[in-house]
Amino acid sequence: MPVADLLPELVLLIGAAVIIVTAAFLPHRLHGLCALLATGVLVASAGLVVTGWSRPDHLTFAGVWALDGAARFAKLLIISSGVASAALSPHWMATDRRHGEYYGLLLFAVLGAIMMASAADTMELVVGVLLSSVTGYALVGYHRQWSPAQEAAMKYFLVGALANALLVIGVVLLFGLTGATGYTEMAGRLAENPDPWVVITALVLILIGLGFKLGASPAHMWMPDVAQGAPAPVAALVTVITKVGAAVALARLAAVLPEAIPWRWAIALMAVVTMTWGNLAALWQSNLRRLLGWSAISQSGYALVAIAVLGATEQALPALMVILTAYAIANLAAFSVVTHLRGRTELADYRGLAQQRPWAAAVLILALLSFLGLPPLVGFFGKLLVFGAAIDGGYTWLAVAAVINTVVSLFYYLRVIAPMVFGTPEDTSAQLGWPSAVTMVITGLMVVFLGLGIESLIGLARDGTLLLLR
């Protein structure tokens, strides 16, 4: 068994175990050290991904595990998000009795997202989705005494249980039809045009199942609750890494579907519904974190646009990578601000923030404008590539739908920005501490400088080959 192929994942796994054991022996006031440990593990894992960057693409472990550019890119993105989230956590979690174990769970969540992105086998995919879900439920409900957190975890769990069940049924249908779970074999069987109705039924079920992790309609309902109720560092992490993992998983699956099945239309439809629903629901939110949750849903719609034209244009995969990165950075920046302001969530409390905390306000404004796609921020290039891919792939109407949604989204982003800049502050605001401040400033700067230096990101994204993609 080529164990060396799994080194980055093994490091995470062993690191998580070590952290949980360490936390059991460490006095509570020193649990913050586990954050340092987790960061070290994540950095080591990322280092291993980078050292394997130029290895040839191949499937390993009997064809269930993909080692290709898309997987490496997703890993790097997921791990970096993990680092940001770990850096946000120490002061936030300091008073929690189970502070240390938290970082173990965080690493498991990262591992689950990586599994989703790397799975080249439906069973492996299910395991990844489940690992990601289980850790997600626990992380979201980490503040057990706080009822919004409980509600969010419950909702996440219930929607997740249903969606995961549908996913498994879809996988079973595909297995029954093709006799295969590995993508290579499945692609061969599907190309022989078996009963299209079964394939379509399976596809719809899998779409719903993966759409749950992606935060795409119709299984998106958990996203705003998690964004609002989960501990802020967890909200930052879960909204980002599950989306990245699920998007790559969906792209990987879409790549093996034959053109005879109208999967492009199905995903395009899902994209439009997701964007529109997310945006319309975000319009009148009075809670910033909830608004960010709905905006995260609409951002999933843009990612789906890129997946819909996958294979129809070679721009599609780089576009997907860049828009996922852009979303991840901007979302981490926005939640860093929320965390740094000790989780303040009501929009009304942000009135006059620009006068009171100019740096926090600036980072939040940059993050929101990057979501919007304002040049030259990183989000602009994400949308640029996605629109370009949609037009090049023959889905101009999808680009137009995305554009109209972007205009709608400006309305609610300005509902946050306007009172922050034009209003006058009412009371003084509390801050969390230096780790969250540093994370906030770094992610905020990245929103700007990754946009200005987009060439390097596009270069990396272009390395993002996807095995089995025609």
- How many whole angstroms separate alpha carbon 238 and alpha carbon 333? 14
Output the smallest distance, CB 314 to another protein, in A.
12
Instruction: Write b or e for each residue in 55-85: b if 16 or more Cβ atoms lie within 10 A of its Cβ, otherwise e.
Output: eeeebbbebbbbbbbbbbbbbbbbbbbbbbb
Among 312, 414, 442, 469, binds another protein (CB under 8 A): 414
Task: Please identify, among the stretches 152-160, 179-187, 284-292, 368-376, the one whose residues bind another protein according to the rule CB under 8 A.
Answer: 368-376
Output the smallest distance, CB 389 to another protein, in A.
10
* CB closer to another protein, 257 vs 402: 402
Binding of another protein at residue 387 (CB under 8 A)?
A: yes
- How many whole angstroms separate alpha carbon 277 and alpha carbon 62? 41
Q: Can you read off the two tokens belonging to residue 336?
A: 């860093």
Cα end-to-end span (Å), the chain: 28
The CA–CA distances, whole Å, from 157 to 99, 132, 429 equal 22, 12, 34
Output the smallest distance, CB 425 to another protein, in A.
14
Identify the three-state secondary structure at position 353: helix
Among 146, 265, 284, 422, binds another protein (CB under 8 A): 422
Task: Please identify, among the stretches 87-95, 212-220, 379-387, 441-449, the one whose residues bind another protein according to the rule CB under 8 A.
Answer: 379-387
Is there a cis peptide before residue 318, judged by omega within 30 degrees of 0?
Answer: no
Output the smallest distance, CB 417 to another protein, in A.
9
Binding of another protein at residue 396 (CB under 8 A)?
A: yes
Restricted to residues 2-31, the positions that interact with another protein (CB under 8 A) are none
Among 169, 221, 384, 448, binds another protein (CB under 8 A): 384
Tell me the angle at which helices 454-462 and 378-392 cross, rounded to the nearest 10 degrees: 40
The sign of the CA dihedral 265, 201, 225, 338 is negative
Binding of another protein at residue 455 (CB under 8 A)?
A: yes
* CB closer to another protein, 178 vs 405: 405
- How many whole angstroms separate alpha carbon 269 and alpha carbon 393? 15
Residue of 80, 81, 82, 102 lying closest to 91 (CA atoms): 102
* CB closer to another protein, 234 vs 268: 268
Among 151, 185, 392, 463, binds another protein (CB under 8 A): 392
Among 454, 464, 466, 467, binds another protein (CB under 8 A): 454
Q: Can you read off the two tokens belonging to residue 323?
A: 């828009």
Binding of another protein at residue 400 (CB under 8 A)?
A: yes
* CB closer to another protein, 212 vs 387: 387
Among 198, 374, 442, 468, binds another protein (CB under 8 A): 374
Q: Can you read off the two tokens belonging to residue 330?
A: 């901007």
Q: Is 438 exposed, middle or buried (0-12, 13-18, 19+ CB in 10 A)?
A: middle
Task: Please identify, among the stretches 27-35, 63-71, 278-286, 418-426, the one whose residues bind another protein according to the rule CB under 8 A.
Answer: 418-426
The CA–CA distances, whole Å, from 3 to 9, 11, 104 equal 10, 12, 22
Among 376, 434, 445, 449, binds another protein (CB under 8 A): 376
Binding of another protein at residue 411 (CB under 8 A)?
A: yes
Q: Please enumerate, as own/partner, the contacts of 403-407 that have beta carbons within 8 Å and a separation of 24 or more.
A: 405/275, 405/276, 405/279, 405/298, 405/301, 406/372, 406/373
Report the relative pairing of strands 65-67 and 58-60 from DSSP bridges.
antiparallel
Binding of another protein at residue 406 (CB under 8 A)?
A: yes
Binding of another protein at residue 399 (CB under 8 A)?
A: yes
Among 421, 438, 441, 442, binds another protein (CB under 8 A): 421
Identify the three-state secondary structure at position 219: coil
* CB closer to another protein, 222 vs 412: 412
* CB closer to another protein, 51 vs 396: 396
Residues in contact with another protein by CB under 8 A are: 369, 374-376, 380-381, 384, 387-388, 391-392, 396, 399-400, 403, 406-407, 410-411, 414, 418, 421-422, 454-455, 458-459, 462
